[in-house]
Structure formats: C-alpha cells, structure tokens
Chains A and B, each alone.
Chain A
Amino acid sequence: MSVFVQIALAVLLLSSVLCLHRIGRGPSAPDRTVAIDILGTLVVGFCCVMALTTKQEYYMNIAIAWALISFVGTLALAKYLEGRSYDA
C-alpha cells in the first residue's frame, strides 16, 4: 500500500498548491479567507493519511487540534470582514 499512500500525499499536495495559488492571486480578502479555511481542512486530511502510514495515534490529536483552531481562526477573520468587534 506504499504506492497508494504516495499517490494520496501527492494529491493532497497538489490540492494545497491550488489553494496557495488562490491565496496569492485572490483579488479580495474573502477569497484568501476561503482558501485559508480550505487549506486547514486539507491539513486535517493530510494528518489522517500520515496517521495511517506511520501507525502513530498522535497524528489524530494533531488533526483534531488543527480542525478546532482553524474553525476559530476562520470565524475571527469572518467577523473582521463583516466589520464588527469580536465579542458582538
């Protein structure tokens, strides 16, 4: 299954490169925010494939923590885009 894992990592890397392209090109700030959100979700999938490859459970801890922090950061950026204070 090593070929499968290599293909999986390559596909996730290609998806991340497409996200980085949108972060660099994006004409407005919400474009970049959407791309950052999607990149965070891709990193969760990347951690899962790494947990499957190396048989180490701590990659799943990284995935859960990354999903939580990505969600909170995206909500903060969305509040900033909306032009409101963070606690309203």
Chain B
Amino acid sequence: MLENFFYVFIGVGLVFDLFGCIGLVRLPDVYNRAQAATKCVTLGTCMILIGVAGIGFIGANWQMGLKAVICAAFVLLTSPVAAHAICRGAYISGVPLWTGSVEDAFADRAQVIRTQQTTEGSVQSEEAETT
C-alpha cells in the first residue's frame, strides 16, 4: 500500500518532467525556456528520486534509498545555480529578450559588467605585449 504511494510520486514526477520539456520546446525566449524547464525538471526529478528512495527503504534496500536521497539533495541545490549561471551568461553575451517582455531590470548592471570585461581584456593584452 505504502509502496503504491511512492509509485504515484514517481508518476507525478514523470508528468512534471514531460511538461518541463514541452515548455522547453514551446516558449519563445531563452529566459522563458530556462525558467520553465529548470523548475519543472528539477521538481520532477527530485520527486522521482524521493519515490525511488521510499521504495528502497520499504524493501530494506538501504544503499539505494540513501543514495537516492543524496542525489535528490544535490539536484535540488545545483540545478537552479546552473540555470542562473546560464541565463546570466546569455544576457551578458547579448541574447535579446522576447519582444513581449515588459521588464528589463538587469540592463544597467550588465552594461557595467561588459565595460569591466573590455577594460580587463585590454589590460591583459597590454601585459602580454610587454612580457
């Protein structure tokens, strides 16, 4: 009975995964795609992992359960960090927003970061020339 509960967990996680990937295909913009896919797939994979952990603990398979819990914690911590890094890199490398976007709060800060990068690059090239 309790095992069926964890199978339901795995099923809901699979549905979240599928919807996240549909969002990855259907949405119009890098940033929309990144947020839709990252949220849905992170939650879906964590639910699959927690379901597998529960089934492992019920079957007295402690190794599998503990490894699944560790993996769930790791995915939950690292996947949003990776998506944030990708979106920051995308904005700084100049990918345009969707034409229907209404708010662009990162524009000034991104401009500052770009100018810092260009000045650092010129300093580094001068050092390379002198040495």
Size bin of chain A's contact surface:
35 or more
Known: A41-B41, A41-B45, A67-B74. A30 touches B90 (CB 8 A): yes
In chain B, residues 5-32, which have Cβ atoms closer than 8 Å to a Cβ of chain A? 7, 10-11, 13-15, 17-18, 20-22, 24-25, 30
Known: A30-B90, A45-B45, A48-B52. A38 touches B21 (CB 8 A): yes
**Cβ distance B86 to chain A, nearest Cβ, rounded Å:** 5
Query: Which residues in A have their C-beta under 8 angstroms from that of B49?
Result: 44-45, 48, 63
A-B contact count (CB 8 A): 162
**Cβ distance B117 to chain A, nearest Cβ, rounded Å:** 6
Question: B25 contacts A22, CB within 8 Å?
Answer: yes
Given known contacts A30-B86, A31-B30, what 11 new A-B pairs fall within 8 Å (CB)? A14-B21, A19-B24, A35-B24, A42-B45, A45-B49, A51-B64, A60-B64, A63-B49, A64-B71, A71-B78, A83-B117
Interface of A with B (CB < 8 Å)? 1, 4, 8, 11-12, 14-16, 18-19, 21-22, 28-31, 33-35, 37-38, 41-42, 44-45, 48-49, 51-52, 55, 57, 60-61, 63-64, 67-68, 71, 74-75, 77-84
The 3 closest A-B pairs by CB, nearest first: A81-B89, A30-B90, A78-B85
